[in-house]
Structure 1
Amino acid sequence: MLTRIRNAGVGGNAARRVKLLTGYRGARMAHASALNSRTLPSSGSIRAAVGSGSRSDVNLWASRHQSEIHRAGQCILKQDRKEPDLSDDKKVPPRAEEVPDEVVRDEEAERQPRDEHANRSSEASSSQGSGGSSAASSGNGDGGSRSKPPSESDVPRKYEELMVLPMSNRPLFPGYYKSVTVYDPAVIEAICGLLRRNIPYLGAFLLKDRSMDKDSIDSIDEVHKVGVFAQITSVHHGVDVDGRKAMSMVLYPHRRVQLDELVSTPKLVAEAKGNETEEGMVEAKKEKFRDMSEGGEEEENPTEFLLESGVTVGNFSDHLDLPVDHSSVMLNALTSETLNAFKDLSMISATVRQQLAALSVIPTSLKPNVFESPSLLADFAAAISVGDPNELQDVLETRDVEQRLEKALVFIKKEVYVAELQQKIEKETDAKVQKRYKDQVLTEQMRGIKKEMGVEDAKDKVIATFRERAEKLKFPEHVKKIFDEELARLSGLESAMSEYSVTKNYLDWITSLPWGIVSTDQYSIPSARKVLDNDHYGMQDVKDRILEFIAVGKLKGQIDGKIICLVGPPGVGKTSIGQSISRALNRTFFRFSVGGMSDVSEIKGHRRTYIGALPGRLIHALKRCQTENPLILIDEIDKLGRTAHQGDPASALLELLDPEQNKTFLDTYLDFPVDMSKVLFVCTANTLDTIPRPLLDRMEVIELSGYVADEKVKIAERHLIPAAKKSTGLGSANIDLTSDSIVALLKNYCRESGVRSLKKHIEKIYRKAALKIVQQLTTDDTMKAATVEPTKEAEGVKQDTAAKSSTDELPAPEPMNIPDSVKIDITPESLVEYLGPPVFTADRIYEKTPAGVVMGLAYTYLGGCTMYVESVLGQPLSKDSNPSLEHTGQLGDVMKESSRLAYSFSKMFMSRRFPKNRFFEKAAIHLHCPEGATPKDGPSAGITMASSLLSLAMNRPLDPTVAMTGELTLTGKVLRIGGIKEKTVAAKRSGAKTIIFPKDNMADWEDLPAHVKEGLTPVAAEWYDDVFDVLFGSVTQEEGNNVWKDQFDQIERSKATANSSN
Structure 2
Amino acid sequence: MARAMNDPTSGEINIPERIPLLPLQDTVIFPMMRLQLTVERDFSLAAVQQALLQDRLIFLVAQREASSADPTAEDLYQVGTICILLHSMPQEHGAVILVQGISRAFITTIWPERTYRMVSVEHLHDVEVGHTVEERALVRNVVERFGAIALSGDTIPQELVYFLQGINDPVVVAFSIAGNLRLSVLEAQSILESTDPARRLLILDDILSREAEVVSMQNRLKSTVDEEIKKHQKEYYLREQLKAIQNELGGSSARSDISEMKEKIVDKQMPEVAEKEALRQLARLERMPQEGPEAESVRNYLDWMIDLPWNTFSDDSIDIGEAREVLDEDHAFLEKIKERILEFLAVHKLQKTTRGSIICFVGPPGVGKTSLGKSIARAMGRNFVRISLGGIHDEADIRGHRRTYIGAMPGRIIYSLKQAGTKNPVFMLDEIDKIGSDFRGGDPYSALLEVLDPEQNNSFTDHYLNVPFDLSNIVFITTANTIERIPPPLLDRMEMIHLAGYTEEEKLDIALRYLVPRQIEKNGLEPAQVAFMPEAIGAIISRYTREAGLRNLERGIGKICRKIAKKVAEGSLAKYVISAGDVEELMGEPPRMFDTELEQDEVGTATGLAWTPAGGEILFVEAIAMEGKPTLHLTGSLGEVMKESADAALSYIRANADRFNIPAERFRATSLHIHVPAGALPKDGPSAGITMATAVLSTLIRKPVRREVAMTGEITLRGKVLPIGGIKEKILGAVRAGIRVIMIPEGNVRDLADIPQQILQKVEIIPVRSVDDVFEKAFVAVPARAEAITAGSDIAAQLQAPEVADRKMEA
**Scaled by the length of structure 1, what TM-score is found?**
0.54
Contact 1:918 1:1044 in 2 (8 A): no
Secondary structure of the residue aligned to 1:702 is strand
Amino acid at match of 1:1039: Q
Amino acid at match of 2:424: N
CA distance in 1, matches of 2:217, 2:500: 63
Secondary structure of the residue aligned to 1:970 is coil
Secondary structure of the residue aligned to 1:643 is coil
CA distance in 1, matches of 2:217, 2:451: 46
- The Cα shift of 1:545 comes to 2.9
**Counterpart among 536, 558, 565 of residue 353 in structure 2:** 558
Q: 1:456 to 1:760 in 2, by over 3 A?
A: farther
Q: 1:627 to 1:923 in 2, by over 3 A?
A: same
- The Cα shift of 1:898 comes to 2.5
The answer to whether 1:990 aligns with 2:737 is yes
The answer to whether 1:152 aligns with 2:24 is no
Amino acid at match of 1:520: D
Contact 2:426 2:476 in 1 (8 A): yes
Taking the TM superposition and a 5 Å limit, the aligned residue runs for 1:309-348 are none
CA distance in 1, matches of 2:575, 2:566: 14
Secondary structure of the residue aligned to 1:669 is coil
**Counterpart among 596, 600, 605 of residue 848 in structure 1:** 600
The answer to whether 1:438 aligns with 2:438 is no
Secondary structure of the residue aligned to 1:910 is coil
Secondary structure of the residue aligned to 1:825 is strand
Contact 2:662 2:701 in 1 (8 A): no
Q: 1:424 to 1:871 in 2, by over 3 A?
A: farther
The answer to whether 1:483 aligns with 2:230 is no
Amino acid at match of 1:613: A
Amino acid at match of 2:738: G
- The Cα shift of 1:512 comes to 0.6
The answer to whether 1:1023 aligns with 2:782 is no
CA distance in 2, matches of 1:971, 1:740: 49
Contact 2:620 2:676 in 1 (8 A): yes
Secondary structure of the residue aligned to 1:501 is helix
CA distance in 2, matches of 1:907, 1:1008: 37
- The Cα shift of 1:922 comes to 3.9
Q: 1:676 to 1:842 in 2, by over 3 A?
A: closer
Contact 1:916 1:1042 in 2 (8 A): no
Secondary structure of the residue aligned to 1:689 is coil
Taking the TM superposition and a 5 Å limit, the aligned residue runs for 1:323-722 are 432-445=228-241, 457-560=252-355, 562-722=357-517
- The Cα shift of 1:440 comes to 4.0
CA distance in 2, matches of 1:1030, 1:441: 96
Alignment match, 2:613: 861
**Counterpart among 680, 685, 690 of residue 938 in structure 1:** 685
CA distance in 2, matches of 1:467, 1:890: 64
Amino acid at match of 1:995: I
**Counterpart among 758, 763, 770 of residue 1011 in structure 1:** 758
CA distance in 1, matches of 2:444, 2:381: 30
- The Cα shift of 1:419 comes to 14
Contact 2:517 2:527 in 1 (8 A): no
Contact 1:917 1:1041 in 2 (8 A): no
Q: 1:998 to 1:423 in 2, by over 3 A?
A: farther
Secondary structure of the residue aligned to 1:715 is helix
Amino acid at match of 2:365: P
Alignment match, 1:978: 725
Cα displacement string for residues 841-885 of structure 1 (whole angstroms, at most 9, x for unaligned residues): 68734232122221111111111111112223446xxxxx55443
Contact 1:977 1:998 in 2 (8 A): yes
**Counterpart among 773, 798, 802 of residue 1039 in structure 1:** 798
Bigger CA radius of gyration: 1
- Higher percent of residues as helix: 1
Q: 1:698 to 1:427 in 2, by over 3 A?
A: farther
CA distance in 1, matches of 2:440, 2:224: 29
Cα displacement string for residues 71-103 of structure 1 (whole angstroms, at most 9, x for unaligned residues): xxxxxxxxxxxxxxxxxxxxxxxxxxxxxxxxx
Q: 1:147 to 1:572 in 2, by over 3 A?
A: farther
Secondary structure of the residue aligned to 1:912 is coil
CA distance in 2, matches of 1:914, 1:756: 51
**Counterpart among 811, 836, 846 of residue 588 in structure 2:** 836
- The Cα shift of 1:493 comes to 2.4
CA distance in 2, matches of 1:428, 1:681: 56
CA distance in 1, matches of 2:701, 2:369: 47
Taking the TM superposition and a 5 Å limit, the aligned residue runs for 1:14-33 are none
Q: 1:844 to 1:484 in 2, by over 3 A?
A: closer
Q: 1:434 to 1:981 in 2, by over 3 A?
A: farther
CA distance in 2, matches of 1:372, 1:439: 43
CA distance in 2, matches of 1:1017, 1:895: 26
The answer to whether 1:948 aligns with 2:695 is yes
CA distance in 1, matches of 2:738, 2:598: 11
Secondary structure of the residue aligned to 2:285 is helix
Contact 2:604 2:698 in 1 (8 A): yes
- The Cα shift of 1:733 comes to 2.1
Cα displacement string for residues 917-968 of structure 1 (whole angstroms, at most 9, x for unaligned residues): 8654544433332333433322211100111111222322222221101111
Q: 1:842 to 1:776 in 2, by over 3 A?
A: farther
Cα displacement string for residues 700-732 of structure 1 (whole angstroms, at most 9, x for unaligned residues): 222221211112112111111110111112233
Contact 1:919 1:1044 in 2 (8 A): no
Q: 1:961 to 1:523 in 2, by over 3 A?
A: same
Cα displacement string for residues 976-1002 of structure 1 (whole angstroms, at most 9, x for unaligned residues): 211111110112122222211112222
CA distance in 2, matches of 1:550, 1:578: 12
Alignment match, 2:178: none
Alignment match, 1:911: 658
CA distance in 2, matches of 1:700, 1:542: 12
The answer to whether 1:772 aligns with 2:567 is yes
Contact 2:353 2:473 in 1 (8 A): no
**Scaled by the length of structure 2, what TM-score is found?**
0.69
Q: 1:425 to 1:579 in 2, by over 3 A?
A: farther
C-alpha RMSD of the superposition: 4.2
Cα displacement string for residues 10-34 of structure 1 (whole angstroms, at most 9, x for unaligned residues): xxxxxxxxxxxxxxxxxxxxxxxxx
- The Cα shift of 1:616 comes to 1.1
- The Cα shift of 1:508 comes to 0.8
Q: 1:606 to 1:561 in 2, by over 3 A?
A: farther
Q: 1:678 to 1:1046 in 2, by over 3 A?
A: closer
- Higher percent of residues as strand: 2
CA distance in 1, matches of 2:566, 2:664: 67
Secondary structure of the residue aligned to 2:312 is coil
Cα displacement string for residues 121-180 of structure 1 (whole angstroms, at most 9, x for unaligned residues): xxxxxxxxxxxxxxxxxxxxxxxxx9867553699xxxxxxxxxxxxxxxx9898xxxxx
Contact 2:597 2:708 in 1 (8 A): no
Cα displacement string for residues 295-350 of structure 1 (whole angstroms, at most 9, x for unaligned residues): xxxxxxxxxxxxxxxxxxxxxxxxxxxxxxx9xxxxxxxxxxxxxxxxxxx99xx9
CA distance in 1, matches of 2:496, 2:507: 24
Taking the TM superposition and a 5 Å limit, the aligned residue runs for 1:280-299 are none
Taking the TM superposition and a 5 Å limit, the aligned residue runs for 1:158-169 are none
Amino acid at match of 1:862: A
CA distance in 2, matches of 1:940, 1:680: 37
